A and B are shown apart, each in its own frame.
Chain A
Amino acid sequence: MSEPHIVVQDLCLAYGPKEVIHGISFEVQRHEIFGIIGPSQSGKTSLLRCINRTIDFSAEAAVAGTITVNGQDVRQLKDVYGLRRRIGMVAPLPVGLPLSIYDNVAFAPRCAGLTKRSQLDGLVEHCLRQAALWEEVKDRLDSLGTKLSGGQQQRLTIARALSHQPEILCLDEFSIAIDPVTTMRIEDVLKELRRHMTIILVTNLTQQARRLANRTMFLWSGAIVELDRSDVIFSEHPASRKTYEYVNGIFG
């Protein structure tokens, strides 16, 4: 097996006096879809925020342990902006920025210093195609991203997350605000994207992890209950009884 893409070691996270992640360790392989399931308050979102260091924006957060991406410790990095550009992040609620559709996608490349219109045009089209949105918006790239429907905005968010050509894509419960048909379309997109990047899929739809993830981690109030291949997690006999009960809806 090749060198893992992301290595998390003994990660602890506290907001003030309240510890929400209690020393978890795991590895994510290159080009896998890594599912994270667990109820709310289990630390899933906080974990993602540690990986792309947007946790820095929470003044009261205290992080311990190490996270490496490509062998580099992200907590020692000076250029956090470069780090964030290597990681695409999709939030639970779709966020169309109050800019045109074009500018929504071109925002990140522009921040990184790309200004040539011809290059931007190509990139915007490429990302919108990857997010399966191009056909619906190609005639109105100048209209506002905030005026799109929820499902379209979520695909716009994905296009924006792809616009800085990340090597890792993190999706945080991307489907809670959109309809099942759009969800299925995005899931197809993810299967395609997997060939180009590593995907971390946080979801509280356990069946979504079953459909997509190669391996799945079950997180429960800041600790790993079980981490294994998805066919084991979702089988009749996962290692932990709790996992079985959670994925089968007996509790949680």
Chain B
Amino acid sequence: MFAETPLVRRKLRREAVAKWIFCAMAASMIVPLLLIVGYLVIRAWPSLSLRFLVDMPANHMRDGGVWPALIGTIYLVVLSLAVSAPIGVLAAVYLNEYARDNWLNRLVNMAVINLAGVPSIIHALFGLGAFVYAARFGYSIVSASLTLAIMTLPVIIASTREALASVPRSFREACWNVGATRWQTIRAVVLPNSISGILTGLILQVSRAAGETAPIMFTGAVFFKAIQRGNPLPYGLHDSFMALSMHLFTLATQVPDVKESIPFATAVVLLGSVLLVNAAAIGLRVYLRSRKRW
């Protein structure tokens, strides 16, 4: 009754082949990651040490560490998120929870989608014109952070909206039915149950802000900046600054006779900090998922 006809055998064979092709494609993602990380670490090995993190560059960037660049990148990430996170999350709450389908909200939606597609070099030019010159913030951390904030905003809005939309509508209706306002509903039910998605989306923007080079190159990042050692807040908001991505670019292209392992070590620091933050995002998501409540 269940004898294998040639037709059935062919079907099963195709199923197996399809599965292996898909699996191979998925697994091939591991290869570039391992190659990149492995290659970088091996080439960077001679320079990798804790000293490398906390030392100033020395001998015209040919020696020493990345301390000012590391601090600059942390500044950038924190400041740009401090601006874009509240605006993005609140805008997303409005768009997802309050907005009706009218021309204004369609316009906002269109702006968000298109802003997300603007290349970072265009953001850089915008930041240069708007913040460095028009707003007279100069070539500074503020200008660069604001530029990065505008660049990350649309993605934060999109990921937050997705997180909010994952809370079933029936929960909202149940709240409305007992006389809760929209805000009471959002505070009691919607936000507590979408916070994991919102935070994950925010944290993923950290790596983007840390990795971008063009926007900060145009708006405030410099080749070298001497900062006070031992001061945890060495930059003022209107100072120009060093950042890891920019530092890597200059080491690789502008500095002759640099010790070979130093650019690689810089890359490892950048990649390592980004992966660290992403791991934190994954950990947070796993933790919050484990307390998922329906």
A-side residues, CB < 8 A to B, are 52, 54, 57, 59, 81-85, 88-89, 91, 93, 95-99, 107-108, 111-112, 144, 146, 157, 160-161, 163-164
Contact = CB atoms under 8 A, between A and B. Distances in A.
B178 A84 contact: yes
B166 to A, nearest CB: 12
A82 B181 CA distance: 10
Contacts of B171: 95, 97-98
Closest 10 CB pairs of A and B: A108-B178, A98-B293, A85-B179, A146-B294, A84-B179, A89-B177, A95-B174, A81-B179, A111-B180, A59-B100
A107 B193 contact: no
B294 A163 contact: no
A93 B174 CA distance: 11
Interface residues of B, number: 20
Contacts of A99: 188-189
Interface of B: 100-101, 170-171, 173-181, 184, 188-189, 192-193, 293-294
Contacts of B294: 96, 98, 144, 146
A43 B17 CA distance: 51
Nearest to A57: B176
A246 B170 CA distance: 30
A107 B175 contact: yes
Nearest to A60: B101
B189 A97 contact: yes
B186 to A, nearest CB: 12
B179 A97 contact: no
A90 to B, nearest CB: 8
A89 B193 CA distance: 23
B178 A85 contact: yes
A16 to B, nearest CB: 11
B189 A52 contact: no
A157 B173 CA distance: 12
Contact of B177 (A52, A59, A98, A146): A52
Contacts of A52: 177
Contacts of B173: 54, 57, 91, 95
Nearest to B181: A81
Given A91-B173, A99-B188, A108 B293 contact: no
A235 B175 CA distance: 40
B179 A160 contact: no
Residue in A97, A111, A112 with the greatest tally of chain B CB atoms within 10 Å = A97
A98 B170 CA distance: 11
A108 B177 CA distance: 9
